[in-house]
Amino acid sequence: MQPWTSTPGSAGVPPGSAGPVHTVGILGAGRVGTAVARQALRAGYRVLVAASGDPGAIELIVEVMAPGATAVTAAEAAGAGDVVVLSLPLRKFDTLDPESLRGKVVVDAMNYWAETDGDMAALAEAPSSSQMVQAFLPGARLVKTLNHIGYHEVESDHRPPGVPDRRALAVAGDDREARATVMDVVERLGYDAVDAGPLAAGAALEPGTAIFTGRHDRAALERLLERAPVPAAR
C-alpha cells in the first residue's frame, strides 16, 4: 500500500455524515497548510501535504514544519484525502485540478487579500469567494471554514470540548453531509463547529466582517451569524 492510500478509519462522525475521515489532504504547504497539518496530526488524522509541484521540493519543509505528515503531489493529496483542505493563495484557485476534486469533501480555507491577490475579475462577478471557487470546482462538495482563524492561532487556540472559552469556527456549505463531516473535523481539531448553513453564508466569514475580525465562542458566533445578511451580490 502506498503511504498516501486511504483506509477506512474508525473515527466516529455524526449520523448522516459523508463517512469516516481518516486522511486529510492539504493543498498548500505554506503557513496555513502546515499549521492545519500539525493540528490534524495531533487530532489523529493521517496527513498528506502538497504544494503546486514536485513533492521533493517540500519534503524538508513538511518534515520540519509538520513532522509525521507526508509530502505528496496535489493529485495524491486530493485523491487520498477523505477531506481536502485548500490552503493556497486565492488568486491561484484556477490552478487546482477540478477533476481530482470531483466528489470530494473540500474545505475552502482561502481568503481574498487585495495586497497579495491583486485584482481578480472572477471574484468581482461572484457573490462570495467560496462560490467563485465552487463554480470552478463543480464536482467538489465545498465547505468554507478555517479561514477566520490566523495560522498562528490554529494550534494555540484549540481546546477540548466543553471548555467554556472554546473558540468557535463557522462551517458553511451547500452539501449537508459534507458540512457535517467538516464540522466533525473542526471539532476534532479543537474548536466548536457552528453550522452557518449554505455556502453563500461564507460571505459572512470573509475578511472585513465581524466574524473574521474577532475571536468568538459558540454563542457569540451564532449571534453574529444570525445578524449577518447574506449579500445577493458583491
Ligand X SMILES: NC(=O)c1ccc[n+]([C@@H]2O[C@H](COP(=O)([O-])OP(=O)(O)OC[C@H]3O[C@@H](n4cnc5c(N)ncnc54)[C@H](OP(=O)(O)O)[C@@H]3O)[C@@H](O)[C@H]2O)c1
What are the grid coordinates assigned to 140, written together? Answer: 467538489
72-76 CB contacts, 8 Å cutoff, 24+ apart: 72/4, 72/25, 72/48, 74/27, 74/50, 74/100, 75/100, 76/4, 76/25, 76/48, 76/50
Q: What string marks each residue from 175 to 204 as x (binds ligand X by CB under 6 A) or -?
A: ------------------------------
73 contacts ligand X (rule: CB under 6 A): no
Do residues 76 and 100 touch, judged by C-beta distance below 8 A?
Answer: no
Q: Say which DSSP state 115 is in.
A: H
101 contacts ligand X (rule: CB under 6 A): no
Site size toward ligand X (CB under 6 A) is 26
156 contacts ligand X (rule: CB under 6 A): no
Q: Which of 150, 161, 214, 231 binds ligand X (CB under 6 A)?
A: 150
CA dihedral 32, 154, 209, 84 (to 10 degrees): 50
Can you tell me the distance from the alpha carbon of 3 to that of 77, in angstroms, rounded to the nearest whole number? 11
| Residue 90 vs 182, nearer CB to ligand X | 90
Q: Which of 95, 125, 223, 231 binds ligand X (CB under 6 A)?
A: 95
Residue nearest ligand X, CB atom distance: 30
29 contacts ligand X (rule: CB under 6 A): yes
Q: Which of 71, 74, 126, 185 binds ligand X (CB under 6 A)?
A: 74
Beta-carbon count within 10 A of 217 CB? 16
The binding site for ligand X (CB under 6 A) comprises 27-33, 50-53, 74, 87-90, 92, 95-96, 109-111, 113, 147, 150-151
